[in-house]
Amino acid sequence: MKAVPKISFAIYFVSSKRVKCPPGTMTEGQILNALFSNYTKMLPEGDSAVEVQIEMHVQDMGSLNEITSDFEIDILFTQLWRDESLSFAHMLACKRYFSLRGFLPPTVSTVSITAHRLLHGETPCSDQLHVNGTLWINHRLSVKSPCNLDLRQFPFDVQSCILILESYSHNAEEVQLRWMEEAVTLMKPIQLPDFDMVHFETKKENLLYPNGYWDQLQVVFTFKRRYGFYIIQAYVPTYLTIIVSWVSFCMEPKALPARTTVGISSLLALTFQFGNILKNLPRVSYVKAMDVWMLGCISFVFGTMVELAFVCYISRCQNSVRSAERRKDRVRTSQVWTNGSCRSRAGQNNSNGNGVLFIYLFAENSTHEMVYLSNGHSKLGEKNHEEKIERISTNKNKHSRHTVVKSESPKKEKCK
């Protein structure tokens, strides 16, 4: 896991308004020179660790960026601790507190903020040293801090971003951190373009490092996403696209180009809408709620294309069956083949040189029957080459018809 840099800041101070000291009292400069003439840069002597109290005022908050997974925040950061070696109660001071003007060594500053970048505010904006040695330090900071986003419920998600404060040079045996009674206060309600801050809480943890336990203070900001933008830009257009794709159900199966155009256009529209949403999100491997919605929409449109193919297949099969039934039910004109030249009603010349007569009998919704006559080579033609054959095609259909054909071998029959 990539280490997150920590922004540390030293303690330098701005002087306050000068007050004229009465005669016989020590001035501010005299007291500071006396205090720091023999001051050691080590931690104050004592049996217990130095307790540093932390307070934070949130003045404003910038955008929460999903691509870079960070957020910007402007805070007024306060540290408060006591150093008895800096007490000037035994001195005749003209004031009970005054600014340090940068006299305090940087080693006494113990707190750092985990952040990508400290935008501005590395120097304190206010500082005070009280008569009992209490130090009150304020920093105005603008911080860009990392935020671990969980987008599984996007765009109806709730995000929690953590701002971490901890000592950068002293462990818990030397410096202990704790929140003040009112640890975090908001100067105004925080509203971002895409989020609303609905809750915040403070935590304290004691973490184990190779060189001991270290105190860590955390501020957890909870943000709820404003999903109105995604309702208008994503859900409503995709829903309407699906309805448009259903228009193909109202078209005739013969309108194949129109139905295909509607389906393909709807599928392309959904693809572009999906890509427009994903370009503003980080690349994550898990499935988001928006992914489920878009895949469901694409499945509906794809279903219309499958329905189109199925309808075309069924229509083709039905057309084939109808064509076969029309060929079967159609009554054709009988055709006769004899030794002579004979033409059918279609005008084609059909003849058979063997003197064989073929007679086709047709009836609606019935099987075809054929009578075979010969000019002397079968039993049917032995009596004077003159026969009378009557064949009636049997069928249960009431529209069935019969045909009677009289054939004389020596004579040529004319086609009627």
Query: Quick one: pLDDT at residue 300?
Result: 92
75 close to 15: Cβ distance less than 8 angstroms:
no
Query: Quick one: pLDDT at residue 369?
Result: 43
Query: Quick one: pLDDT at residue 323?
Result: 84
Query: Quick one: pLDDT at residue 21?
Result: 67
Query: Quick one: pLDDT at residue 45?
Result: 63
Q: One digit per residue, pLDDT tens: the chain, 416 residues?
A: 334 444 333 333 333 455 566 666 777 777 777 777 777 666 666 667 888 899 999 988 888 988 888 999 999 888 888 887 777 877 777 777 677 765 554 434 456 666 555 555 555 567 778 788 888 888 888 888 899 999 999 999 999 999 998 887 888 888 889 999 889 999 888 888 889 999 999 999 999 988 889 999 999 999 999 999 999 989 999 999 999 999 888 888 788 888 888 989 999 999 898 888 888 888 888 999 999 999 999 999 999 989 888 888 888 888 888 888 877 776 454 444 444 444 444 444 444 444 444 444 444 444 444 444 444 444 444 444 444 444 444 444 444 444 444 444 444 444 44
Nearest CA to 6 out of 214, 172, 160, 252 is that of 214
Query: Quick one: pLDDT at residue 363?
Result: 43
Query: Quick one: pLDDT at residue 103?
Result: 57
* Helix or strand holding residue 134 (H, E): strand 134-146
Query: Quick one: pLDDT at residue 123?
Result: 55
Query: Quick one: pLDDT at residue 24?
Result: 66
- Tokens for 11? 């303690």
Q: What is the pTM of this model?
A: 0.65
Spatial separation of the C-alpha atoms in residues 130 and 24, rounded to whole Å: 20
337 close to 352: Cβ distance less than 8 angstroms:
yes
Give domain limits for the chain: 6-226, 229-329, 342-408
Nearest CA to 170 out of 89, 219, 112 is that of 112
172 close to 49: Cβ distance less than 8 angstroms:
yes
* Alpha carbon distances (Å) from 139 to 101, 144, 177: 14, 15, 17
Spatial separation of the C-alpha atoms in residues 42 and 217, rounded to whole Å: 24
Which listed CATH number (2.140.10.30, 2.40.50.100, 3.20.20.220, 2.70.170.10) goes with 6-226?
2.70.170.10
To 10 degrees, what angle do helices 256-278 and 236-245 make?
A: 170
Q: Cβ–Cβ contacts within 10 Å for residue 401, how many?
A: 14
- Tokens for 74? 């402007």
Query: Quick one: pLDDT at residue 18?
Result: 56
Query: Quick one: pLDDT at residue 235?
Result: 93
Residue the block writes with tokens 């199925």: 310
> What architecture is domain 229-329?
Up-down Bundle (1.20)
Do 229-329 and 6-226 have the same topology in CATH?
no
Main-chain dihedrals φ then ψ at residue 367, nearest 5 degrees: -80, 155
Q: Cβ–Cβ contacts within 10 Å for residue 30, how many?
A: 14
- Tokens for 159? 């995000």
Q: Could you tell me which residues come within 8 angstroms of residue 122 by beta carbon, excluding any fewer than 6 positions away?
A: 9, 10
Spatial separation of the C-alpha atoms in residues 195 and 378, rounded to whole Å: 103
Give the distance, in angstroms, between the CA of residue 136 and the centroid of all CA atoms in the same chain.
Answer: 48
Query: Quick one: pLDDT at residue 283?
Result: 86
Provide the CB-side half-sphere exposure for 166 (13 A, CA): 23
